[in-house]
Structure 1
Amino acid sequence: MNNALCGGGDPNQGVTGTSMLVTSDQVKAIVLMGDPRHTPGMSFNVGTATAPGFDPRPSGFVCAVADKIQLYCDAPDPYCSNGNNARIDQSYGQVYGQQALDFVNSKLA
């Protein structure tokens, strides 16, 4: 989903590409939880993670639709960060669900 929104493909796998949805005004808000493309320093990051996921974006990457995204990732998550508690990846809806809903509603207002 991250690639479809931000483009860039997956240079770690030798795949490049552009966003399929970047020009779509029909997409108002995007919520990503536990995304392995999590890259520290991105403007849309939410949570406690400061380490990258197992497939982060290259340094200096810019997502054209960053203002529409919230990416939730906490440090113990082994998929979007370098943690060792896979249960964290299953808890984002409970932990951040209301915050994500508030974000979506703010984009629809």
Structure 2
Amino acid sequence: MDQEMDRRESPELRAAFEALLDAGPEPPLPSVTDAAVAGGRRIRRRRTAVALAGALVVAVCGVTTAVNVADSRPDSVQQPLAPPTPTPTQEPTEVPSPVATPEPAAR
């Protein structure tokens, strides 16, 4: 079977390979390792940035919650609510009399 394939495709295939080899030197292959290292750096930077952003959000939420809880607490000096005590009633000593204001003359 190998000889049959060699006889059928040999001249065309050989010509194609010769053309490729005579075209010039092969381009250099890029380094897979360098690309992997650069990708790893990007991933680490992205993870660090996301972790810092998450920590910042948690801190802001914690501070906001603490401030809201502190504002809603009664002061420690303030006494607990008690029923109102009656205030002593004072009788007015003297009621001021209305002062008459002069009306402007009609023209």
Higher Rg of the two aligned structures: 2
Q: Which has the higher helix share?
A: 2
Q: TM-score band, normalised by the shorter chain? A: under 0.3
TM-score by length of 1: 0.18
Q: Which has the higher strand share?
A: 1
TM-score by length of 2: 0.18
Greater relative contact order, per chain length (Cα 8 Å cut-off, separation 6+) = 1
